[in-house]
């Protein structure tokens, strides 16, 4: 990936789809990891639970944070000009969710350890 702002109108079809694929991957995967992290976080807080996943929860939140930051980088480089307006809005919402959910998940994981 190049540095600075990328003008999407001059990108070749292959480069356009490369960036668009990256934004789709980071938005969808980050949302999935953050949601799974929260599910495991709450499952670890059930009294006398049998399956302990607290060691995975922190890694899920860290992975979601890194994907959210990567998606933010692509969005800033392309000035969020990839796809239709509905695509742009949906990816923006997913990346914001990923960042907020992963940061709050990391905080909750450290502040409220599992039982």
72 CB-near residues (< 8 Å, 6+ apart) = 95, 99
Is residue 1 predicted with pLDDT exceeding 70? no
pLDDT confidence of residue 9: 87
Model confidence pLDDT, tens digit, residues 60-88? 999 999 999 999 999 999 999 999 999 99
Task: Give 8 or 97, the one with higher predicted confidence.
Answer: 97
pLDDT confidence of residue 3: 67
pLDDT confidence of residue 4: 81
Query: What are the sequence ranges of the domains in the chain?
Result: 12-111
Q: Please state whether the predicted TM-score (pTM) of the whole model is above 0.75.
A: yes
Is residue 105 predicted with pLDDT exceeding 80? yes
């Amino acid at each position: 990936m190049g540095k600075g702002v990328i003008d999407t109108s001059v990108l070749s079809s292959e480069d356009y789809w490369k960036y668009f694929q990256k934004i789709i991957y980071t938005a969808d995967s980050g949302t999935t990891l953050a949601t799974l992290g929260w599910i495991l976080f709450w499952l670890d807080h059930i009294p006398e639970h049998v399956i302990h996943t607290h060691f995975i929860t922190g890694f899920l939140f860290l992975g979601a944070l890194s994907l959210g930051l990567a998606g933010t980088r692509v969005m800033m480089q392309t000035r969020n000009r990839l796809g239709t307006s509905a695509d742009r809005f949906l990816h923006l919402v997913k990346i914001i969710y990923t960042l907020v959910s992963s940061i709050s998940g990391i905080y909750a994981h450290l502040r409220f350890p599992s039982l």
